[in-house]
Amino acid sequence: MTLRALIVDDEPPARAELRYQLEQQGDVEVIGEAQSSREALQLLQALDYDVVFLDIEMPALDGIGLAERIAAGEYGAPLVVFVTAHDQHALRAFDVEAVDYLLKPIDPRRLGATIDRLRQRRPLAERPVDGSLSQAEDPPRFLAGHEGESAFPVPLEEISYLTAQGDAVHLVTTEGRQLQLRDATLTGMERLLPSDRFFRCHRGYLVQVREVAEIVPFFNGTYLLRMKGSRDEVPVSRSRVRRLKELFRMA
């Protein structure tokens, strides 16, 4: 199980040192580096990441501001770890639900503990060699959505989409009702539900294909999906556009 990481730091030596230390962890793959928050936002729009290692003191939009943008759900649902030379920002960092706060120079043992915490927060499904998710042989007919202490069985045909919000996965019905799925991850749901009916359009969203009412062009070659019953708009990340076009026979 490999964590896909983005490093954001305006100092090249700091990025190089963190990349080296992460590579020593064995199951962390650094698939992006950014020297500014603006560049980081472009990378987050283009690809899906499991974790962002983020400096705080950067020009223009600082690390806290970037973490707030990530927490708003515009760029998938990556976890955030702050890596900084200053300890006075710790309280603000945890206000945006950072997983950890590492001080430079980084202690390898401390970084190892952080990676363990990330693994616990981001359980990843094993993937076959081709990168695709294996499907459950006998998919369920219902999912149990919770509201308070009560559970409500929702037939698959009445699901509009699933969304990850922080550590929780929520089910949105065709009538627009939102229920929580307990002990679930979006990746786990993607494995469980039939791939010909449910499309992982974004790191934070899994939609029922038959419930897509309209495909709306967005910016930078991406799209929004307007759902039938709820009329909610769901983002499609750039990395999923090709699959979107295949599903809907788009030119």
In DSSP terms, 100 is beta-bridged to 81
Q: What is the C-alpha end-to-end distance of the chain, expressed in Å?
A: 35
How far apart are alpha carbons 208 and 228 in whole angstroms?
10
According to DSSP H, which parts of 122-198 are helical? 186-192
How far apart are alpha carbons 48 and 172 in whole angstroms?
22
Label residue 129 by pLDDT band (50, 70, 90). Answer: very low
Torsion of CA 151, 153, 157, 159, to 10 degrees: 10
CB-count exposure of residue 182 (10 Å: 0-12, 13-18, 19+) = exposed
* 166 vs 10: which has the higher pLDDT: 10
Tens of pLDDT, residue by residue over 181-197, are: 988 888 888 888 888 89
204's tokens: 């934070």
Instruction: Please name the residues in contact with 194: beta carbons below 8 A apart, sequence gap of 6 or more.
Output: 135, 139
Question: What is the pTM for the complete model shown?
Answer: 0.53
Label residue 131 by pLDDT band (50, 70, 90). Answer: very low
How far apart are alpha carbons 179 and 201 in whole angstroms?
20
According to DSSP H, which parts of 181-234 are helical? 186-192
Label residue 126 by pLDDT band (50, 70, 90). Answer: very low
Domains and CATH numbers, the chain: 3-121 (3.40.50.2300), 142-247 (2.40.50.1020)
Tens of pLDDT, residue by residue over 63-86, are: 888 988 887 766 777 889 999 887
User: Among 75, 71, 33, 73, which Cα is nearest to 54's?
Assistant: 33
Q: Does residue 125 surpass a pLDDT of 50?
A: no
How far apart are alpha carbons 52 and 84 in whole angstroms?
13
Q: Does residue 25 surpass a pLDDT of 70?
A: yes
Label residue 235 by pLDDT band (50, 70, 90). Answer: very high
Query: What pLDDT does residue 130 have?
Result: 39
How far apart are alpha carbons 149 and 142 in whole angstroms?
18
Phi, psi of 157 (to 5 degrees): -70, -10
User: Which of 5-14, 35-44, 46-55 is predicted most confidently?
Assistant: 5-14
Label residue 89 by pLDDT band (50, 70, 90). Answer: low
